[in-house]
Structure 1
């Protein structure tokens, strides 16, 4: 896939209040079935749109992002929270131990990953068996937010990626432009 990487200079867009109309952190927490004892990986955490609510709801969050600058922005926003670990890493070789998280979310980043097979192998490696992965992406339609249509993956394409990686996908429609696909690892 490998669309263009999101630029940290545009990080404020990730906190646009309009995002809540499309997908709210509460919807994600519900889909993940997050418990207060859960350890969660926010894969492609950016400046923390989902990370901060996940940290408030769960026991520990591993904020993973390829851009140190994005994690620095997140760290500045999360000063009151001490249960977030910041990990500079891509998603094809995640710098976390095996089976360290109960849940993982990859929000709006899969379209940027060059090798989805490697990424999904890593997701399966870091998530405890019997626990949940959630991928959020932009549906392949024109709209003002998100990447250009040619960089997006449709929900049908993403379902096929899950199946090709040995997972049984559940589709969640949050908005006409945003879907989630989850699976138990």
Structure 2
């Protein structure tokens, strides 16, 4: 396992009610401006913290991508418990996505881009699978000391992430959910 990658042994932290206060799923849905019929991909889906609310917000399929089988298994269990049936899953790294061009209207990359090697290549790949007028929503840890999240040296400052995303041709809007977590809403022109 890469030293930057989230440790699946800590998966319980991803569904802790405190996390819902820090990263409110309803706020994430608002940032995505969903009309209810979008095909969505959740990159680094983990155990489904955002995948499940995304699936409830669309009549289409949601693709959950994660590199860890165990995390995808937890996602399956949670979806079954909540009777959510419009989720597909794929074990894969997000640097190379095995989907045709323009497959999704929305992509969510929550707390995962700081883990990848070759972030520019990854952003190009995400852009490739998005439709014209599609949207990428990046959530990640600000480059500040905090008790939660990855070590400081693994984080990517919001201004740097904004530039990286802009450099790949996205139209970008940046904001913060709180002092520790930023979002970048990036549209494909």
Q: Please, what TM-score do these two structures have when normalized by structure 2?
A: 0.94
Cα contact 2:95–2:118 (8 A) shared by 1: yes
Per-residue CA deviation, residues 85-122 of structure 1 (Å, 9 max, x unaligned), is: 00111111112222111101000000000011211111
Runs of 4+ off more than 4 Å = none
Cα contact 1:40–1:104 (8 A) shared by 2: yes
- Alignment counterpart, residue 139 of structure 2, candidates 131, 136, 140: 136
Structure 2 equivalent of residue 25 of structure 1:
25
Cα contact 1:111–1:152 (8 A) shared by 2: yes
Name the SS of the counterpart of 1:41 in structure 2: strand
Structure 1: 5+ residue stretches without partners: none
* 1:113-124 paired onto structure 2 within 5 Å: 113-124=116-127
Per-residue CA deviation, residues 124-166 of structure 1 (Å, 9 max, x unaligned), is: 1111111111100001111111001111011111011112212
* 1:43-62 paired onto structure 2 within 5 Å: 43-58=43-58, 59-62=60-63
Inter-partner Cα distance in structure 1 for 2:141 and 2:35 = 26
Give me the CA root mean square deviation: 1.2
Inter-partner Cα distance in structure 1 for 2:55 and 2:172 = 26
Structure 1 equivalent of residue 161 of structure 2:
158
**Which piece of structure 1 moves more, 161-170 or 142-151?**
161-170
Q: Please, what TM-score do these two structures have when normalized by structure 1?
A: 0.95
Cα contact 2:13–2:19 (8 A) shared by 1: no
* Offset, 1:53: 0.3
Query: What is the aligned residue count?
Result: 184
Structure 2: 5+ residue stretches without partners: none
* Offset, 1:3: 5.8
